[in-house]
Amino acid sequence: MWAKMRGYLARISLILALCRSVQDEQPEQVEEEDVKKAARIIAYFKAHARRVYGELRVTTPEDLLAGEISKFLRDHGGQWSGSATELYEELAEREVQGLPKSADWLSRVVLSIGDRSELLVAEKKRTGKKRFLKLTLKNGVTGVIGVTPRDPKSDASDTDDTKPEEIKWID
């Protein structure tokens, strides 16, 4: 993307010069002020590109697996428990992306995702000699009860009828 910015600088400079020449009835040529203004616009684009690329990051197999586990848990009502082997088999059946090569590695990766995630709780449990994983989605909205229309009389100062209706969520 950075390589394209040099070409954008020239194009934006030309656009600004033409706008200025039409507005001020001046000759159609690029002036220093046009290039400076175009450079400010390019700096704006670069700042936003940095923010976007920072948010997107590079997608790793672990990121893909985290998304797949999130879908899996939503399909199971927000929680699931069982052995790492059972989880591995269910995810393999779904042909999820980022699945490790063994159930043992899957268990380690899932616990690691749970440690860093704000939405997934991953716990290692034990009942006697049997070990299992318990996965839960936090703060997930699982459905909508209904939509309640706004009462226009409830706020006398509110004359805008274009406000959205209130939505009541269930957890």
Crossing angle (nearest 10°) for helices 61-75 and 103-116: 90
* pLDDT per residue as tens digits for the range 61-73: 787 788 889 889 9
* pLDDT per residue as tens digits for the range 90-148: 999 988 878 889 999 999 999 988 888 878 899 998 888 888 899 998 864 444 333 34
Asked if residues 64 and 97 have their Cβ atoms less than 8 Å apart, the reply is: yes
Sequence ranges of the domains in the chain: 2-56, 61-137
pLDDT value for 40: 93
Which is nearest to 73 in space by CA: 89, 60, 91, 85? 91
pLDDT value for 19: 95
pLDDT value for 89: 94
Asked if residues 119 and 137 have their Cβ atoms less than 8 Å apart, the reply is: yes
Asked if residues 99 and 114 have their Cβ atoms less than 8 Å apart, the reply is: no
pTM of the model: 0.48
CATH topology of domain 61-137: Arc Repressor Mutant, subunit A (1.10.10)
Using a 10 angstrom Cβ sphere, with 0-12 exposed, 13-18 middle and 19 or more buried, the burial of residue 8 is middle
Asked if residues 38 and 16 have their Cβ atoms less than 8 Å apart, the reply is: yes
pLDDT at 157 over 50: no
